[in-house]
């Protein structure tokens, strides 16, 4: 278990005084990456072999968003791991010690030079600390998009500010694009995201919106050939 503690600052706060969902997801993402510090042997192996961890899918259950100035705690741990995939829980807790966000994610290992997936030796996997998974509803890692006609909107270009240290669009930025396409009154309580391929600087995202119901949306971020970069499923109250 790896833990970070922070306070909700102004730059993370929306106009309603609550932490932005993207700010909470940034905190989740940062804690997950900092977890490597608690696994020095595994971290050294990844660095020596030019390997990075990439997320294939994530589920986020939102209980509430912390308030501006509130002290928050983020905890992350691996609950299963094999040579090809890792399964992670990350939870964000409020000042009262109760959960605000509960998440689980599926990740894999990629060679940062070739961008190809690689398997890790079992001897290295055996060194990784594994914890019991937290209590939450675990939906499938794959998102089944309904056969419903969607609507297209204008193109969105990937900007320099969207790019992370792996030289592709940061995972949270895809979700930020989707959130900005929702109606203002749409109050999210759950989302799933499936990352299909990486968008890079200058790429054009072709959003497609599918409304299964007024509180259940799918947002697909596609390339020019309608191949998805990311599929995002959102539930509202």
Q: What is the CATH number of the domain that holds 217?
A: 3.10.129.10
| Partners of 59 in the β-ladder | 104, 192
pLDDT value, residue 38: 87
Q: Is residue 146 part of a domain?
A: no
The residue behind tokens 């497609």 is 208
Q: Residue 196 pLDDT > 90, yes or no?
A: yes
CB-CB contact of 127 with 42 (8 Å): yes
Say if residue 95 is in the same domain as residue 208. Answer: no
* 51: confidence class by pLDDT, cuts 50, 70, 90: very high
Task: Give the Cα separation of 237 and 129 in Å (integer).
Answer: 37
What average pLDDT does the structure give for the chain?
95
Q: Residue 36 pLDDT > 90, yes or no?
A: no
Query: What number is the average pLDDT over the span 211-234?
Result: 97
Say if residue 104 is in the same domain as residue 9. Answer: yes
Percent of the chain scored above 70 by pLDDT? Answer: 100
Distance of CA 229 to the CA centre of its chain: 14
Say if residue 70 is in the same domain as residue 120. Answer: yes
Q: Is residue 135 part of a domain?
A: no
Q: Is residue 144 part of a domain?
A: no
Q: Is residue 141 part of a domain?
A: no
Distance of CA 64 to the CA centre of its chain: 17
Say if residue 64 is in the same domain as residue 167. Answer: no
Q: Residue 237 pLDDT > 90, yes or no?
A: no
CB-CB contact of 105 with 88 (8 Å): yes
Say if residue 82 is in the same domain as residue 172. Answer: no
Say if residue 120 is in the same domain as residue 155. Answer: no
Q: Is residue 93 part of a domain?
A: yes
pLDDT value, residue 216: 97
CB-CB contact of 173 with 166 (8 Å): no
pLDDT value, residue 71: 98
* 37: confidence class by pLDDT, cuts 50, 70, 90: confident
Q: Is residue 178 part of a domain?
A: yes
Task: Give the Cα separation of 57 and 230 in Å (integer).
Answer: 9
CB-CB contact of 41 with 127 (8 Å): yes
Say if residue 105 is in the same domain as residue 176. Answer: no
Strand residues in the chain grouped as ranges (E): 2-7, 51-62, 71-81, 85-93, 99-111, 151-152, 156-157, 188-195, 204-213, 216-222, 228-236
Tens of pLDDT along 57-85?
A: 999 999 999 999 999 999 999 999 999 99
Say if residue 7 is in the same domain as residue 121. Answer: yes
Say if residue 222 is in the same domain as residue 161. Answer: yes
Task: Give the Cα separation of 35 and 39 in Å (integer).
Answer: 7
Interstrand relation of 85-93 and 71-81 (parallel, antiparallel or unpaired) = antiparallel
Q: Is residue 19 part of a domain?
A: yes
Question: Which domain covers residue 205, as residue numbers?
Answer: 151-236
Rounded to 10 degrees, what is the CA torsion of 52, 53, 56, 58?
Answer: -150
Say if residue 15 is in the same domain as residue 81. Answer: yes
Tens of pLDDT along 207-220?
A: 999 999 999 999 99
Query: Considering its fold, how many domains does the chain have in total?
Result: 2
CB-CB contact of 158 with 176 (8 Å): no
Q: Is residue 145 part of a domain?
A: no
pLDDT value, residue 124: 92
Lowest mean pLDDT: which of 17-21, 42-46, 105-109, 131-135? 42-46
Say if residue 112 is in the same domain as residue 181. Answer: no
State pTM to two decimals: 0.95
Say if residue 94 is in the same domain as residue 177. Answer: no
CA distances from 26 to 8, 46, 123 (A): 12, 22, 31
Tens of pLDDT along 127-179?
A: 999 999 999 999 999 999 999 989 999 999 999 999 998 889 999 999 999 99
């Amino acid at each position: 278990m790896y833990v970070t503690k922070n306070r909700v600052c102004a730059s993370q706060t929306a106009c309603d005084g609550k932490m932005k969902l993207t700010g909470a997801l940034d905190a989740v993402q940062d804690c997950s990456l900092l977890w490597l510090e608690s696994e020095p042997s595994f971290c050294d192996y990844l660095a020596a072999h030019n390997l990075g961890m990439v997320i294939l899918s994530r589920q986020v259950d939102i209980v509430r968003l912390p308030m501006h100035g509130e002290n928050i705690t983020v905890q992350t741990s691996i609950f299963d791991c094999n040579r090809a995939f890792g399964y992670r829980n990350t939870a964000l807790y409020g000042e009262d010690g109760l959960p605000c966000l509960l998440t689980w994610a599926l990740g894999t290992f990629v060679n940062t030079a070739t961008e190809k997936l690689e398997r890790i030796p079992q001897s290295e996997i055996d060194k990784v600390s594994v914890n019991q998974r937290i209590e939450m509803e675990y939906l499938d890692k794959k998102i089944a998009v309904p056969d419903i006609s969607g609507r297209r909107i204008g193109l969105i270009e990937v900007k320099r500010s969207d790019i992370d240290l792996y030289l592709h669009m940061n995972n949270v930025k895809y979700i930020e694009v989707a959130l900005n396409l929702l109606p203002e009154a749409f109050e999210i309580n759950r989302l799933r995201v499936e990352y299909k391929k990486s968008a890079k600087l200058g790429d054009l995202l072709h959003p497609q919106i599918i409304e299964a119901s007024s509180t259940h949306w799918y947002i697909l971020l596609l390339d020019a050939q309608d191949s998805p970069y990311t599929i995002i499923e959102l539930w509202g109250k």
